[in-house]
Amino acid sequence: MTYFKMIAFKYILALGGFSLLAACGSSKSQLPEIKPDIITEHVKYDTDDPAIWVNPQDPSQSIVFGTDKESDGAIYAFDLNGKIIESKTIRGIERPNNVDLRYGFKLNDSVTTDIIAFTERERKMLRIYSVPAMQPLDGGGFPVFEDETNENFQSPMGVSLYKSAVDSSLYAIVGRKAGPADKYLYQYKIKPKSLDLVEFELVRKFGQFSGKKEIEAIAVDDALGFIYYSDEGDGVKKYFAEPQKGNDQLSSFGLEDFQDDIEGIAIAAYEDGAGIIIVSDQQRGQFNIYDRKTNAFIKALNLTTTETDGCDVVTQPLNSTFKNGLFVAMNDDGTFYFYDLAKLN
């Protein structure tokens, strides 16, 4: 190589290094850092999505559930100090992805239980357990997307539960790892069958997909009756949660507010209808906050997590650390970050 070619080669390398550094730097939030109050113990493999169960007898004994996304995965249970509760942890799950929960599901006229739902991707199942007993109610799992002929579109990923404000019916809205341009999500009604078993009924298929990346994060505002999901490269999509209200998309918002990969969604809801919608801007390493009623952008926050997929929030006071409610976000080092909700306001 001649002297001039060598200089040119070094110059190209330098420019490439600068571009790489610039790209890496652009993925990091430049906003002031807001540190978590608690960081959990590490899971075995790869954290993905949390769900918060508030103990109605003693909120200080509430549990944060979180998925560990691997073939030999688990639904971990953490106390409010971030310590693993082994007796409430569900192990041996084949790639659990997303998790959600609801309160007061009626098994019969006199018996109710809180339930947790999560996808088991490699078995193509939705799983249902009671909380806090952590007993399976699904007979080993409910197969989803059974009528899908394209094998690539059969694997479940995102899930959110919806308890109807109209008649208290319970539904599971399930998304998939890959899917068609329309009817990407299936909505199933969960019905009691016996004191230790529930059954499933498919009630509708809906949800447009841009085809740009994938749809994982799903969240439902029970009181206002809306489903939100992240079409990762094309905005947050909004639909009615009640099946009889139709399958038309109501709105799509937020695309211009994200660097890349629109991810986890959490809804902080208050009884007067106020609240916020929190959405992970995954590649920038921050969260965008939207008004619950208008879906207008409010602000962005740097909560110091990296590559956040899933998040969840509750507005009830829990203990002296989480006096204003609790926000939980996944971090890519195998932990979950806990914040007093006041840090997001």
pLDDT by 10-residue block (mean), the chain, 345 residues? 40 38 53 97 97 98 98 98 98 97 95 97 98 97 97 97 96 97 98 94 97 96 97 96 97 92 96 96 94 97 95 98 98 97 95
Q: What does DSSP say about strands 47-53 and 63-68: parallel, antiparallel, or unpaired?
A: antiparallel
Task: Determine contact, residues 276/289, Cβ cutoff 8 Å.
Answer: yes
Q: What does DSSP say about strands 326-331 and 311-314: parallel, antiparallel, or unpaired?
A: antiparallel
Cα 280 to Cα 324: distance, rounded to the nearest angstrom: 21
Backbone angles phi, psi at 9, to 5 degrees: -65, -45
Report pLDDT for 283.
86
Report pLDDT for 3.
39
pTM beyond 0.85: yes
Report pLDDT for 345.
87
Report pLDDT for 27.
59
Look at residue 8 and give its three-state secondary structure.
Answer: helix
